[in-house]
């Protein structure tokens, strides 16, 4: 399927690692001009260099998704150097480890800020330009934890519950402006985030495989294609859709 993303300008947050990196690779290989945005500029630069070496279009820009100033600076840089933003994939976010009793206020705020505030500020920053040009695709990273199936990581799950509700509400507002807003909700995916303190432990990958009906652990590339499809005009009738991609984990 040709997604016809040639020449589209796409900002991908969290592009230095894991699913953000896979989304950046997917969009660039579909012809989009990708802005790989991350707090980790060095990581984003490596991704951009690997893509440009292959003849694809990608630049790295430092971004803290939780900062309005940082978004403003990124959009100014992109407008000056590349052009108006057509596509935003809000993928960045912090990992979580604390449970119901040991999540303190700071950690709760870090989760809500790093996920929900980041998505809100990102969407609100790009919307005026998209409305003016009557074109836009926004795809937010969500999670199966939005449905209360989190392994007791309360701030994380609550933040994604907020992202799901916000995505649907924004989708209804944006659709009359020819802007599609949707989200993708993965199950557990093998990335640096899940490796850290969990999947790197002996037996953890086998345990996850056994608890995933499709019989294998999800990889970033199992997710990135859904972002690319929702970023394309083939998905023009998708408004406020949540794509659940968990190898069946959500069915358990």
**According to the binding rule CB under 6 A, does residue 183 interact with ligand NAD?**
no
Burial category of 148 from C-beta neighbours within 10 Å (exposed 0-12, middle 13-18, buried 19 and up) = exposed
Q: Which of residues 7-26 bind ligand NAD (CB under 6 A)?
A: 13-14, 16-20
Q: Which residues contact 95 (CB under 8 A, 6 or more apart)?
A: 193, 194, 196
Look-up of token digits 């953000």 = 20
Query: Which is catalytic among the residues 156, 160, 227, 229?
Result: 156
Q: Which residues contact 115 (CB under 8 A, 6 or more apart)?
A: 93, 94, 156, 159, 160, 162, 163
Three-state secondary structure of 37-61: EECCHHHHHHHHHHHHHCCCEEEEE
**According to the binding rule CB under 6 A, does residue 194 interact with ligand NAD?**
yes
**According to the binding rule CB under 6 A, does residue 208 interact with ligand NAD?**
no
- 3-state class (DSSP) for residue 35: strand
Q: Which stretch binds ligand NAD (CB under 6 A): 63-71, 77-85, 147-155, 208-216?
A: 63-71
User: Which neighbouring-strand residues pair with 186?
Assistant: 245
**According to the binding rule CB under 6 A, does residue 180 interact with ligand NAD?**
no
Q: Which of residues 93-152 bind ligand NAD (CB under 6 A)?
A: 93-94, 114-115, 118, 141, 143
Residue 156 annotated to the active site: yes
Among positions 64, 86, 107, 222, the unique one binding ligand NAD when judged by CB under 6 A: 64
Query: Which residues are the active-site residues?
Result: 156
Positions in the binding site for ligand NAD (CB under 6 A): 13-14, 16-20, 38-40, 43, 63-66, 91-94, 114-115, 118, 141, 143, 186, 188-189, 191-194
């Amino acid at each position: 399927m040709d997604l016809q993303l040639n020449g589209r300008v796409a900002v991908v947050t969290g592009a230095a690692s894991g699913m953000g990196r896979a989304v950046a690779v997917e969009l660039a290989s579909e012809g989009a001009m990708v802005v790989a945005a991350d707090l980790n500029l060095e990581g984003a630069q490596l991704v951009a260099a690997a893509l440009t070496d292959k003849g694809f279009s990608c630049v790295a820009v430092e971004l803290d998704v939780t900062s309005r100033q940082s978004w403003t600076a990124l959009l100014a840089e992109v407008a000056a150097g590349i052009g108006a933003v057509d596509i935003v994939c809000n993928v960045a976010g912090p990992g979580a480890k604390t449970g119901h009793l040991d999540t303190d206020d700071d950690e709760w705020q870090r989760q809500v800020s790093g996920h929900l505030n980041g998505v809100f500020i990102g969407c609100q920053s790009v919307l005026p330009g998209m409305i003016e040009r009557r074109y836009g695709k926004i795809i937010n990273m969500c999670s199966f934890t939005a449905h209360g199936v989190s392994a007791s990581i309360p701030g994380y799950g609550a933040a994604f519950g907020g992202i799901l509700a916000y995505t649907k509400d924004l989708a209804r507002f944006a659709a009359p402006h020819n802007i599609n807003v949707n989200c993708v909700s993965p199950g557990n995916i093998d990335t640096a985030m899940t490796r850290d303190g969990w999947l790197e432990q002996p037996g953890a990958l086998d345990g996850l495989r056994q608890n995933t009906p499709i019989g294998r652990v999800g990889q970033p590339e199992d997710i990135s294609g859904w972002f690319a499809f929702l970023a394309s005009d083939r998905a023009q009738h998708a408004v406020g859709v949540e794509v659940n991609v968990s190898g069946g984990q959500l069915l358990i």
